[in-house]
Amino acid sequence: MRNSLVLLLALVATGACKKKSTENKGSASGASGASAGTAGGGSPTGDGTKSATTEAGGPLQQVNECPPALKDTDKGLRRTIPAGCTTTVQGDYYVEGELIIEAGATLKFAADSALYVGYTDASKLIVNGSKDKPVTFASGGDQAPGTWKGVHLYSRAARSQVTGLVIEYALIGLESEAPELSVKDSLIRGTRDVGIKISDEGTLAAFAGNTFDKPGALAMTVPPAAMVGFGAGNVFPADALVELRAGNVSTSGTWSHPGAPIKVTGEVYIDGKAGKATIEVAAGNQFRIDTSGAIYVGYTGDAELKVAGTKDAPVTFVAAGDPEPGAWERGIISYARGTLTLDHAVISHGGADGRGAVRAEGGKLSITSSTIKDNVVGISVDDQGDLRGFDQNQLAGNRDHALVVFPRHLGALGAANTYDAQKLLVHGGRVDKAATWAIQPGATVIIDGELYVEGGALTLPAGSTYAFTDNAGVYVGYSGDGTLVVQGTADKPVTLESTRHETGGWKGVELYGRTVASSLQHLVVKDAAGGGVRVSGGGVVKIEGLTCSACEKAALTWDCQSKVTQSAVKGDAGTPKGALAPEGC
């Protein structure tokens, strides 16, 4: 009995010694010890070993070593890979803590392996390389694109910092869901699919001085919120693009030139949340807009988009595909809570029927020193839109119309715009404040509805011409005080005519009882139905030089209540009479 008890105690002791030995052996290799995670963004599986080197309780445990391999999961560690260390990454290696890699270190990734940071815990990747002494993430096998899967930063890897890193032959070089990622002075070489991908949740604190060499199908893809992180000195291959995907930006910042053209592949919304969001687009940026691409300003929140090109470095918005009018029809739009300012921009290949490539739909719009060409419609402003300025622009090759606007917007058109045989379409509406319609050289101005002058004075300068569709006419002082001032001269009359150049082709000019101090000098009216100028209800007007050509009735008629002073009024080309005074007054 006594001997049996001794034997039993000996067996228990032997088993205990074997269990401890096994644990020590598992932690002695220097590699992390949890089971491998799933590939391509899955979660790590298994509960890992409980050794001090792989799961430290409380504050992160510092580990400084050059391990023979990195694999499975590091949890609770602040692991530093020292300068000059060369090690391998085997399988899916997860970091739930901090991984710090010093200059000159090299990580060789086995086939189909990957580095994942911050899947479950607050984590960080710190790469402390430099251009002269980089950290290298290389293929440990074939030197061919896509040999290993790449680096993935999850949302818990906030404020990771990558400096002086070379990534070679990955499927996707670096993919980040993390906020405020900084990438500087790094090289992405030989990736198969994408060089760098910033996921929809990710943002960039800085992205500068980086180089892409043979980055695969796409050099870089980002959401709108990451655009503010781009800095100077990035180098891309000549044919490379930065993809700007659909999404929202709600904070202010500058979209610097990333170093390559920007391909807009979805709807980009600029909408402030905690106050106004203002985005400034730096000179030289090139936007190539896909069929599904668009930029919307102030749709749900206060916002402003300032495009700040220069003469030598304009900001361009053109088609990503075939360079044809209407290739991108969704537009760049300022909504009711938005302001859009374009200076030294080039707008091409956009627009749709009746809608401009750039448009204000209830929002504010200003365009200066820009080129608008080869669109279906260049610019459009709806009746609720506010056109605050439009001058020194060049418009050519716009298939249907260069501009589509309402009468209240024409006063914002400056005199220094130039048009190459373009049409400017003005829908019917009101002039409700004082305005001068500056001549638009090279443009045919078409009024396609009833024009009411109420609430201010409309001035038409010498030499201007306006064409009216069948249902169009000019009505002054109908329901509010209005003034029409025509400033023609003998050699530069103001001409109002029909678009189809036939008698009865439009409704002519009518001045009602609330017409105040109107003055018509050297006015030519053509093709009007019902006579050229009609005054009724007590309207007040002074006319010096009126010719009605091919009009159905007299050039000028008025009733007994009206106060008309007239001279040099005549009918021409079949107009039955010049001035027809009222009878029985």
Closest to 337 (Cα-Cα) out of 296, 378, 308: 296
HSE at residue 75, side-chain half, CA atoms within 13 A, is 18
Enumerate residues 6+ apart whose C-beta is below 8 A from 282: 254, 255, 256, 257, 308, 315
Q: Is the pLDDT of residue 428 over 60?
A: yes
**Backbone phi, psi, residue 125, to 5°:** -110, 125
- Segment 216-239 mean pLDDT: 96
List, for residues 518-536, the tens digit of each pLDDT value. 999 999 999 999 899 999 9
Tokens 């790590």, residue located: 44
Q: Is the pLDDT of residue 20 over 60?
A: no
| Helix, strand, or coil (residue 12) | helix
Distance separating alpha carbons of residues 87 and 99, to the nearest angstrom: 14
Q: Is the pLDDT of residue 39 over 50?
A: no
Closest to 115 (Cα-Cα) out of 34, 197, 192, 37: 37
List, for residues 42-74, the tens digit of each pLDDT value. 444 333 322 233 444 468 999 999 999 999 999
3-state helix, strand, coil in the chain (%, to 5): 5, 50, 45
Question: Across the strands, what pairs with 580?
Answer: 557
- Check if the beta carbon of residue 325 is closer than 8 Å to that of residue 376: yes
- Segment 275-300 mean pLDDT: 98
| pLDDT-derived band at 17, boundaries 50, 70, 90 | very low
Enumerate residues 6+ apart whose C-beta is below 8 A from 439: 415, 461, 463, 464
Distance separating alpha carbons of residues 92 and 107, to the nearest angstrom: 13
Quick one: CA torsion of 491, 492, 493, 499, rounded to 10 degrees?
Answer: 120
Q: Is the pLDDT of residue 403 over 70?
A: yes
Q: Is the pLDDT of residue 40 over 90?
A: no
| Amino acid letter for position 59 | P
| pLDDT-derived band at 194, boundaries 50, 70, 90 | very high
- Segment 381-389 mean pLDDT: 98
Label residue 326 left, alpha or beta by phi (over 0 means left) and psi (-120 to 50 means alpha). left
User: Tell me, what's the pLDDT at 584?
Assistant: 84
User: Tell me, what's the pLDDT at 585?
Assistant: 82
Neighbours of 415 (CB within 10 A): 12
Distance separating alpha carbons of residues 360 and 388, to the nearest angstrom: 11
Q: What is the mean pLDDT of the chain?
A: 91
Q: Is the pLDDT of residue 487 over 90?
A: yes
Tokens 């009833």, residue located: 450
List, for residues 316-348, the tens digit of each pLDDT value. 999 999 999 999 999 999 999 999 999 999 999
| pLDDT-derived band at 18, boundaries 50, 70, 90 | very low
- Check if the beta carbon of residue 163 is closer than 8 Å to that of residue 186: yes
Question: Across the strands, what pairs with 295?
Answer: 268, 332
Distance separating alpha carbons of residues 245 and 266, to the nearest angstrom: 5
Does the predicted model carry a pTM greater than 0.85? yes
Query: Is the alpha carbon torsion for 52, 54, 56, 57 positive or negative?
Result: negative
Tokens 């914002």, residue located: 412
User: Residue 412 corresponds to which tokens in the numbers above?
Assistant: 């914002």
List, for residues 85-96, the tens digit of each pLDDT value. 999 999 999 999
User: Tell me, what's the pLDDT at 530?
Assistant: 86
